[in-house]
């Protein structure tokens, strides 16, 4: 690509601050932000004052809630993402979290490393079996479906789901999935895994009321976006035993973690690593590259969001 355009790389592998983002929008025709570069209405407004040069935001990631899409669209800036290539990697981390919190593997590992383990006992560290239980999936897109496949085919789980659109017949049959209302999903699921985007409708979808509806046997898994869960309500539900446990890969204010969450033993915490495999990160890069190449050659953008 170096022979077609001048390329500037953020070598620090860290999110750009507001001033750097504004400068980048005013100096580059194409930007390739990651999901931690917050291109808010404020950033667009500051760049607009100075004169925006960017015509394409080729996002390195599938989620694009960090970009104010309405403003991008108003300013005639195209936005693309990287769907499809991180499906299995993210579903693997969802399944890992589900197993970890059901089988208390985080607690177990901490016990062994602390030197306090005193040997096998019939009632020691009892946990919840996963096989055959009911998994409720909220958001049955690509990642939700990949999770359903792993859970159903690998662990014999029953799948119920809530999603804007129903699964096509043969796909639903393959994973034995039944669509239901959210209220029914909260009541019937042993595990709930979130795979919906972060929007104004899904903000704090998992609130105090939802957690109370889940019940003390249930577990919550979130590899979608932190904003979907009210973290204060979750910390309180976990602390009071209103739900059995939870596994999180994403947070409301990344990379800060709500201090109330850090104290809980029945919670597994991961550092937003759903798509973090070598294979997937390379594929995400190639996907962003394809969008950039299409823009340069004037072709239709393969993964256009707006
Ligand atoms: C995404 O792509 O949206 C993930 O959260 C990071 O890879």
Q: How many domains does the chain have?
A: 2
Query: For residue 144, what pLDDT is reported?
Result: 98
Contact 30, 38 (CB under 8 A): no
Query: For residue 26, what pLDDT is reported?
Result: 98
Mean of all residue pLDDT scores within the chain: 97
Q: What is the pLDDT of residues 222-253, one digit of tens each?
A: 999 999 999 999 999 999 999 999 999 999 99
Angle at alpha carbon of residue 108, lines to 103 and 112, rounded to 5°: 160
Please check whether residue 152 lies inside any domain of the structure.
yes
Q: Tell whether omega for the bond before 255 is within 30 degrees of 0, i.e. cis.
A: yes
- Residue 257: both structure tokens together: 């973690």
Q: What are phi and psi of 145, to 5 degrees?
A: -65, -40
Q: Do 54 and 123 share a structural domain?
A: no
Please check whether residue 183 lies inside any domain of the structure.
yes
Q: What is the pLDDT of residues 17-30, one digit of tens each?
A: 999 999 999 999 99
Please check whether residue 125 lies inside any domain of the structure.
yes
Question: Is the CB of residue 275 below 6 angstroms from any atom belonging to ligand 1?
Answer: yes
Q: Do 96 and 27 share a structural domain?
A: no
Please check whether residue 8 lies inside any domain of the structure.
no
Q: Do 171 and 118 share a structural domain?
A: yes
Contact 204, 229 (CB under 8 A): yes
Query: For residue 3, what pLDDT is reported?
Result: 76
Between helix 18-27 and helix 41-50 the angle, nearest 10°, is 50
Query: For residue 56, what pLDDT is reported?
Result: 98
Question: Which DSSP symbol is given to 77?
Answer: -
Q: Which of 86, 139, 146, 287 to mutate to test the pocket of ligand 1 (most atoms within 8 A of CB)?
A: 86
| Catalytic residue (one of 204, 254, 281, 304) | 254
- Read off the pLDDT band of 4 (50, 70, 90): confident
Beta bridge partners of 194: 138, 222
Please check whether residue 64 lies inside any domain of the structure.
yes
Q: What is the pLDDT of residues 188-203, one digit of tens each?
A: 999 999 999 999 999 9
Q: Containing domain of residue 264, as a range?
A: 87-269
Q: What is the rounded average pLDDT of the residues 31-44? A: 97
Contact 197, 171 (CB under 8 A): no
- Read off the pLDDT band of 1 (50, 70, 90): low
**Maximum alpha-carbon separation in the chain:** 69
Per-position DSSP letters for 102-148, written without gaps between them: HHTHHHHHHHHHHT------TTTT-----TT-EEEEE--SHHHHHHH
Please check whether residue 78 lies inside any domain of the structure.
yes
Please check whether residue 122 lies inside any domain of the structure.
yes
Question: Is the CB of residue 81 below 6 angstroms from any atom belonging to ligand 1?
Answer: no
Q: Do 195 and 108 share a structural domain?
A: yes
Query: For residue 79, what pLDDT is reported?
Result: 98
Query: For residue 13, what pLDDT is reported?
Result: 86
Please check whether residue 3 lies inside any domain of the structure.
no
Classify 227 as helix, strand or coil.
helix
Q: Is the pTM higher than 0.85?
A: yes
Query: For residue 2, what pLDDT is reported?
Result: 63
Q: What is the pLDDT of residues 238-296, one digit of tens each?
A: 999 999 999 999 999 999 999 999 999 999 999 999 999 999 999 999 999 999 999 99
Tell me the percentage of the chain whose pLDDT exceeds 90.
97
| Residue 272 is among the residues annotated as catalytic for this protein | yes
The CATH number for 52's domain is: 3.40.50.720
User: What's the 275 CA to ligand 1 centre distance in angstroms?
Assistant: 6
Q: Do 246 and 99 share a structural domain?
A: yes
């Amino acid at each position: 690509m170096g022979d077609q355009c001048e390329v500037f790389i953020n070598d620090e592998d860290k999110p750009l601050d507001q001033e750097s983002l504004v400068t980048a929008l005013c100096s580059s025709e194409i930007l390739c932000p990651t999901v931690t570069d917050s291109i808010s209405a404020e950033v667009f407004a500051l760049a607009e004052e100075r004169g925006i040069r960017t015509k394409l935001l080729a996002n390195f990631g599938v989620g694009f809630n960090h970009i104010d899409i309405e403003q991008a669209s108003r300013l005639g800036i195209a936005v693309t993402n990287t769907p499809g290539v991180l499906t299995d990697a993210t579903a693997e981390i969802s399944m890992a979290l589900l197993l970890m919190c059901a089988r208390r593997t985080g607690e177990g590992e901490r016990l062994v490393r602390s030197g306090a383990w005193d040997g096998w006992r019939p009632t020691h560290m009892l946990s919840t079996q996963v096989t055959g239980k009911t998994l409720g999936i909220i958001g049955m897109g690509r990642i939700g479906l990949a999770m359903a496949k792993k859970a159903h085919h690998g662990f014999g789980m029953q799948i119920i789901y809530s999603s804007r659109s129903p699964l096509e017949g043969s796909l639903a049959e393959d994973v034995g999935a039944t669509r239901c209302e959210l209220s029914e999903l909260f009541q019937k699921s042993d595990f709930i895994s979130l795979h919906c985007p972060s929007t104004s409708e899904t903000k704090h979808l998992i609130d105090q009321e939802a957690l109370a509806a889940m019940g003390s046997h249930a577990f919550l898994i979130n590899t979608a976006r932190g904003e979907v869960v009210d973290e204060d309500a979750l910390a309180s539900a976990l602390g009071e035993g209103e739900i059995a446990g939870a596994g999180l890969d994403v947070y409301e204010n990344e990379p800060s973690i709500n201090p109330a969450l850090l104290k809980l033993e029945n919670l597994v915490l991961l550092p937003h690593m759903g798509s973090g495999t070598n294979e997937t990160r390379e594929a995400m890069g190639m996907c962003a590259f394809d969008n950039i190449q299409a823009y340069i050659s004037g072709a239709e953008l393969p993964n256009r969001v707006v």
